[in-house]
Amino acid sequence: MINSFKKFVLIISTLLLIFSCGDGGSEDPVVDAVKVSIVEISVDEGEDDSNTFVRIRLNKETQTLVTAYISSVDGTATAGEDYVGFSNVPIVFEPGDKNKDYSVQILGDTDSETDEYFEITITNLEGNAETDLGTAKVNIINDDREPTSFTIPTTGPDSPTSYPGMSLLWADEFEGPGINNDNWTFEIGNGDWGWGNNELQYYTRGENASIVDGNLIIEAREDDTRRFTSTRMITKGKFDFQYGRVDIRAALPKGQGIWPALWMLGSNISTVGWPACGEIDIMELLGHQPNKVHGTAHWSDNSDHKSYGKSKTLSGTRTFNDDFHVFSIIWTENSIKWLLDDVQYNELNISSAGLSELQKNQFFIFNVAVGGNWPGNPDATTPFPQQMIVDYIRVFQ
């Protein structure tokens, strides 16, 4: 009798467990709705038709199928004249997706006109999603302006074309007529496309860079709506090196919120990220301190960002905008030395294994940023346009 009762209890318990599991399993898990945004961008108009990409993004990876329908809306730019319009285009996010890029065609011309914009808006959503930023501008930057007049300095220190025990490995003297595409690539976009520091500028395809009288000119500009454009050019994939002496002769821009830099990043940045790739800043300047430059290195210490740097201030009343100066590093397996006009002002010992990021190949970056966490933003005292003028870059080993 007792055994029969135990069997009866066991059967009832099992049935209750089965029914309980069945009831719970019939309900779908609660999934919070994702939020959909469109990212504002700026694009160069150009003389020929071109395509740019507008990013539609989610605040997190979706677990379900989400479809956002987008349409273009005229602003000061007109569909059919300045860009190719579109209506209710489906942007489909599969489970696991977070970002989608949609190609938009910009219609180029040779007319000198003001910058224009149109908008892209989310017209409908399907799936477990909500609109976050449902409308964004596409700013069309007109690049058919007359060349800016400016003065190239005729004074300032120079450097030799050779050093005892070293040979010239690579150089760009910027003799023109255009920028050498075998040496340089233009990085395009704003902070949302891979760099940040809360900078304000949009980097163009090269409309803000030119060769004038044997000098590279990188120009930061402001338009009527307080939007800024500039240039960021790199040698990644075209030239990198490990150890040697670098000489760069340049005259620098000035003004609140202006941030020129001549610097290097580890060639493995695409695989290890920053700061694990290492960074060597040959020269940085904050525009509100036009007589002071900085030389700095950045690296990773057990995933923590580390840096070391010093600055050098000119004596007297002259600034780095008034004359050319030579910004140099001497980089060996044991140390990095920073020099201004061949006079050392900073040194970092990199011989330890903890600084191995600074013992590997690096490539060059030239840019003029506008605004950012370090320099602050431009104000009413900041004149535009601003030019960084580079006479040459030379690498010796």
Which residues form the catalytic set? 279, 284
Does residue 245 contact residue 328 with C-beta atoms inside 8 Å? yes
Q: Starting at the earlier edge strand, list the strands of the sheet with 304-313.
A: 185-186, 232-234, 362-370, 258-266, 279-285, 292-301, 304-313
Contact 369, 230 (CB under 8 A): yes
Q: 299 has which bridge partners?
A: 306
Measured distance CA(321)–CA(286) in Å, rounded: 12
Peptide bond into 275 cis (omega under 30): yes
Separation in Å, CA 151 to CA 155, 213, 260, 321, 367: 12, 11, 18, 10, 19
Q: What value, to the nearest 5°, has the Cα angle with vertex 38 and ends 36 and 44?
A: 165
Quick one: which of 121, 119, 112 has its CA closest to 141?
Answer: 112
Contact 397, 241 (CB under 8 A): yes
Strand partners, 201: 228
**CA 6/CA 176 separation, integer angstroms:** 96
Q: What's the gap between Cα 83 and its chain centre? A: 25
